[in-house]
Amino acid sequence: MSASPLFSSIALTLFPEMFPGPLGQSLAGKALEKGIWSLEAMDIRDFAHDKHSTVDDKSFGGGIGMVMKPDVVDEAIEAAKAKLPKARLVYTSPRGVPLTQGLVEQLKNTGMIILCGRFEGVDHRVIEHHGMLEVSLGDFVLSGGEIAALAMLDACVRLLPGVISKEDAITQESFTTSSEYAGLLEYPHYTRPSFWKGYPVPEVLLSGNHEQIRLWRLEQAKKITAARRPDMWSKIVDKKE
């Protein structure tokens, strides 16, 4: 076990049994066992004030759905902050800023306390009081923040030293912020057999010429990015201009 984890995290949730979930498997799971990173799931219901463990109430102004109570959530956050005082406070929300690779690289350096919302969300006063960073996975809505939290944690953990052995596996993939592939989607990959169901592997990949292979992969990354993500490609073009 490592003396001190490189990345520490706490998930505040109504469903602690959802953690570590898939993060307990594969590379992330092995890194968790080795102590490279840490994860604790804290049950928000433990901070409720009544015998029914009530964590939500009706929304002021009316409307359908319930809202997570500020007093209960605040006590859960304070308990988490006492354990990880330097961690970034994050609230998973469809109205948050987009989760990007650049943001992931920042969060992996601070650790995270992630509040997983449910129902119609959390009383906004808690978010304001704690200066929480609202983060969204994309333009869609999930049933709760746990799946989003798992995705955010996975994105951070895989960047930690000792989790992925080969550096090139990270520096040449989609959304990297370093190397000549910065800002591009990843190029296509091929493996054996070299001819499958009428599809051959591009000859350049069989040539053994590493420079030609590098240039081919870079060109493929540019073509794919321009076709599938014109928003990303336009930023690259603007920088060149």
45 in helix, strand or coil?
helix
| Residues pairing with 112 in the sheet | 9, 88
Distance CA 182, CA 240 (A): 13
CATH number at residue 233: 1.10.1270.20
* Residue 238 vs residue 47, higher pLDDT: 47
pLDDT confidence of residue 17? 98
Domain that holds residue 208: 168-240
Tally of structural domains, the chain: 2
What's the pLDDT tens digit per position in 68-106? 999 999 999 999 999 999 999 999 999 999 999 999 999
Q: Which residue has the higher pLDDT, 84 or 170?
A: 84
User: Do 111 and 41 belong together in one domain?
Assistant: yes
- Is 163 a member of any domain? no
Query: How buried is residue 78: exposed, middle or buried, by Cβ count under 10 Å (0-12/13-18/19+)?
Result: exposed
Helices (H), the chain: 26-34, 70-83, 101-107, 124-130, 146-157, 168-171, 210-228, 230-240
Query: Which of 157, 191, 217 is the last residue before a domain boundary?
Result: 157
The CA-based diameter of the chain, rounded to the nearest angstrom, is: 71
